[in-house]
Structure 1
Amino acid sequence: MGSDPVATTVARRELRLFFASPVAWLFLASFAAANGFIVFWVESFFARNIADIRPLFEWMPVLLIFLCAALTMRAWSEERSRGTIEHILTQPHSPWSFVAGKFCACFTLLGLAVVLTLPLPFTVALIANLDWGPVLGGYAATLMLGGMYLTIGLYISALSDNSVVSLIATVMLCSVLYLSGSPDFTAYFSDHTGNMLRMLGSAARFDAITRGVLDLRDVIYYMSMGAGFLALNVYALESLRCYGQPATVGLKRKRRITLLLIANLFMTNLWLSPLDTLRLDTTEGKLYSVSPATSFLLKDLQEPLLIQGYFSSKTHPLLAPLVPQIQDLLQEYEIAGNGKVIRHIVDPATDPSLEREANEIYGISSTPFRIADRHQASLVNAYFNVLVRYGNEFRSLRFTDLVEVRAVPNTPTEVLLRNPEYQITNAIRQVVTDYISGGRLFDGIEEPVEFIGYVSKDALLPQTLRAYKRSIEQQLALAADNSEGKFSVRFIEPEARDGDIARRIRENWGFKPMVAQEGAGTEFYFYLTLATSEQVVQLPAGEFNPANFRLALDAGLKRFATGFNKVVALSLPPDRTGVSPLQASGPVFTHLERALSREYSLRQEDLSDGTVAADADILAVIAPRLLGSRALFAIDQFLMRGGTVVLVTAPFSASITAGKLQLNTYDSGLQEWLLHHGINIEESVVLDSQNASFTVPVTRLAGDYEFQDAELRNYPYFIDLRPPGLIAHPVTRNLPQLTMPWASPIVAKPAADTQITPLLQSSSDAWLSSKRGIMPTAGTGGAAHMQAPAGDGKAYTLGLLMNGRFSSFFREGNPGAIITGDFPSANLLEHSAESARIVLYASNDFMSDEILQGIVAASSTQYLGSLELMLNSLDWAMRDEQLLGIRSRGHFNRTLPPMERRMQKTIEYTNYAFALLLLAVMVLGSWFNARQRRRRYSRGLLL
């Protein structure tokens, strides 16, 4: 427009006329008020509890229809009714200049209306972790859709001299374009027809951009539609010049040019429709793109990988828009696979043999969905599944694996994809793992591994160990022959070099001389290790049974390999048979067990025998209770072998007794063992002013009577952890939020050879309490100890990582040495390898079933940060960090911080105030501009 002075003049004139009328300001104020009312009241922004502004953009296409129709209804209709259109048409300038000027003026007004909504995203960004990608995409989509609506309104206005008729016709035509691609309309058609309608309609394309995916096809659609209607507008003005006269040669030529332009724009959209890779994912976590972790996994495929989507053409209206999204993602897998990934999309209902194969072989079945309209309710059995197959191994993803539903009372149900890349990539990794473990162990090992046996010469060994050594030498030779140079074997006599090697291995790993059980009195060494340049792992010898050695060897080699399901030894409290985790039977961890079993090979570990499973890669001890000396010995020696021990323990656990919620002493038996390593969990509980909501039992006093109610309230014992409380570390870096209930503070003083890394910290407004009664009282804001002491706030460590060289609790001279008589001291490892780690979280209940269910109920989402924290901890500890970056990506995991009702009202009213302030600035700017224009006019008259 800057190069066309006529268009610039027209635009300025239109803006002056618009701002000279109070109706203009009424339009802008109504638009801002409608958006605020929808976000805070209709969509219940705070009850929804998600840190995004999706509710704003969900209603924007509808509001834009009326706003754009109002902005354009007088553009040409008033010119025609007043007769000024003849003056325009007789000018020696192209009608295009006048059309462009009016469009630019209307688009400027649209931009000002959109500016009035800016306080909302900035408010959300200030109080929570806002992903700006969908926000920027939403505003880009708003301007493009609004621009298209404006061109439609201008064209309609040029056809009528009645502004009301133009308003109604514009609303109707824009509504048809919007509804033709909406899920409510496309649900009445087949999948193919629905996809065609979504391509023609404006709603689906708008939703795609507001998700944060800027697709070239959507941009071209809006631009081509706008250009087409602008061309029609120019032609309509040219037709008015010849109104009542026979069509001239020039008008016919312009008609052909206009039709040819529209046809070319239409063909451009058809040509671009198959090109589904020309898009930019602007979301912070790249939710709709294949991550580097996925690309790395696909690059190493040795066999063709089949990814087959099972989607019904007739499905639930809320699921229909998700089908194109997941199809686009599967297309990205096919591209990233470089020919190794085969993608198929099928509808089992159309092929009985295909449906039978899905049901009987892959265990894929349809899901019944209830569909209701204004006339009747019915059930539709639809498929929404993804199959991943590699060789003869397969995994099938169900509807519940792929879709997340968020239902908040009095608000529309939200249905979105639940981090589909993580689900699909994890399934790929599992099938590849199962395929490789069928006989291709060394394919997953990149750095050569050396077996080093620190074994005395045969003359010093008992007869049993001599036979054992001969047997394992044969097994080791066979493994080396099949390793393609990735595995080598070496035996070292520790007594050589005047015992220098013996001294070194004792100092480094605590390998001390053994004594034969027969009482011969001869000392010898028999320690088996696997080593690379970065890590040393000891192989458990067990009962020196040759039949078990290959199992121990393979388990050890898998710790150096990628693409294998790791083995997690899980120790849970023995008393897990109660109905509720908050009852006397203790916490129940069914959800945790299910989550771990989906990701790893799970071993239920009984520590009371003094050993940990030989093939265990990591030991997780959850809410331990009254651990005896043998259990401590098992944990201690697993750590000494260079393993990682994940501990979830605290001095207290919550329970409900006689209708009262209270803390009970929970003796883990680990206190002295932790103190030996410099870790002390204090016997108190942390409360925090930054806390989460939870449904808690509440005592209500009515006269002389007490009644027990349940209320959803902010509960200081439920600490709401967010960055920077979630310390920047691979375990916590991608977690947006975590709730820690009834957590205790950790004080750690590392030894010289170990170091501490905090993982979880409360806010600086936290305080401690040792009260056992933790039940709030209705109407009083809670018990007295639940109120934050003035000025006494402090940040407390709730989770940490300790790594380095540890000394055994049972080593001679240490506190545990007094009970070593229960164990064969010859097998005692006194020092750990450098790879040993302790990961500690000081809460017994934060992963229990009752707490997880309560968090889901309070947040109305299926996001469980505590389980993701545990999975991240295990992945990081086992050097398997492929999925760490994509596990926590999702839509509903960015929650708002807890806040009082008064603060919520303040935020809401502040948004209204800032919108009014921006409107006032616009009014002031318009007044100042008009005043300057009058002054220039007056000076011109004087001259």
Structure 2
Amino acid sequence: MQHKFTSSVNLFLIVVVFFALVFVNNQLLSPLRLDLTENQVYSLSQGSKQVLKEIDEPINLYFFFSDKASKNMTSLRNYANRVESLLTEYETFAKGKLKLQVLDPQAFSEQEDQADQFGLTAANIGVAGEAIYMGLAATNALDEQEVIAFFDPQKEGFLEYEISKLIYQLSEPEPVNVTLITDLAIKGGQNPMTGQVDPAWTFLTQLEQLYKLEQLSSEAINVPDDTDVLLLVHPKEYTDALLFAIDQFALSGGKILAFLDAHNESDPIAMMAGTMPTGNSSNLQRLLSAWGVEFDSDNVLLDAMAGLDIRTQNGGVTRHFGFVGFTSDQLDREDLLTSNLEVINGASFGVFKKIADAETTWLPLIQSTQNSDLMNTETYAMTQDPEELAKAYQSENQSYVLAARLLGQANSAFEQVPEGAEQRSIITSTDKLNVILVGDTDLLADRFWVQQSSFFGQTIYTPFANNGDFITNAVENLGGSDALISIRSRGVFSRSFIRVDELTVIAEQKFRDQEQILQQQLDDTEQQLLELQNQQVEGGALVISPEQQLAIDEFMQEKVTIRKSLRDVRHQLDKDIESLGNWLKLINIALAPLILILFLALLRIIFKTKPRFASTIPKSKEDPVL
């Protein structure tokens, strides 16, 4: 009786301890996380945490995922779980400033109507063409809203950045202020070469639509205080006062996007003045040296592989080694600026080089191909014939950096305040430099990336390259907070099975030749069978002799045999993979638990204590008392 009572008490205590541990875990330990994945894909970066700390008003997140409609779509559902887990991590860290709702927008439901109102994308990839939603909508206290129309699994590396950017845009709704300093006629006007009125450059029109833009000339001596992004286009002959203002803007945490050029080909005023052969390169070297970078303004890049085809004066087509188009192979796929771009066109690029002892972090964005050469700027300007450029070209088997991002440590280019500067104090160094340098200004000109046409009085822009996207991405990225900029491409959740991939390649190599032989035999048999069946006498009647019928039957039987062999060969392609899968199932389902049980049994035997007897009742007088 006492033993039963003790067992009941022990069982009751175990239940109490269990519920106590569950309560402690839910109430006290829920914010704690242990992320053992290789790239910490379930954890937030410091940049995202900083964005969440700066939220002033609560933000509502609505994650729409068609859970029921995607029942048999395992890969998509796994990615949806990945997104939801990351959103939950955002909500947990925000400590009440984010409120997450997970909704299943089933057909003809209120949730589906809500997803449509937010403008989320319904992808018709479900069974029988059923719409699948997997997007995020967010609203703030001012009823402003931002959305991610659809979470593309192909862009998983930028998942955290997209979510953090959405939250940042709702927490900081103020528009980005862009200050543009240039002397180029980018606003359009009368062209001195043709006498016609040129429209404003398309990139400028796009920036004015997206941001608050203020344009200054090189006569300016300061940078406006409200500037978020400073855009420099073809800087040259800047005064010390303006250079000092730019220098101090960069050292005080300002973001700069600078387009330089070794030979600007889109300046009609310089062409009219006859300064094209020489004297039309950018000059920002005083600041670049302080930032740890050199810009080669004396040479122009020639790239045989990236050269663009242009039309010659006699109507032919030839490749121009100085007019280049860089594809995804030359763009940094890990940087947010260039990860989704396909083509960037430009002309007469100048190249950048990092100074050996510079402390600045150097991140190349665009690089030439290995089939590149450098030509003297003056020689290039005087060589009008592309074929002459091709003859002078000599590959150095070297790739050059044409655009780069600079981050981190930098010093001032000035030891004292120059004459004419408005600012009287001086910042000597910084560890928050944030500059993007591009070695060409011609890529901003319309002729290299966009066509304009008029449609019923409305201007239609048709881009054929991603130059405009590159500029917009750069300004958008720089216009965000430092925390947002620090969030780069993260690791991916889905991991490929390397061993399975190797087996697939081996299997294909092993059976592909046999498959081709059988396929050829099948084609020959069908051709011979067709020839026999097409034998006709005059008048169109089909006459088949017994010998021909026998041959037809044999060909039909051979055709069936070959098709069966072909199916067997194709089945063999997956046999090794299926075998590996069966072994993995056996190990995970049966062998691993069995090994664990045996291991625990062994531990029990090792640590089992022997029973100890304190006393016994003597059975007889001869029995000793212990």
State the TM-score, normalized to the length of structure 1. 0.34
Which of the pair has the greater relative contact order for Cα pairs under 8 Å at 6+ separation?
2
Larger helix share, 1 or 2: 1
State the TM-score, normalized to the length of structure 2. 0.49
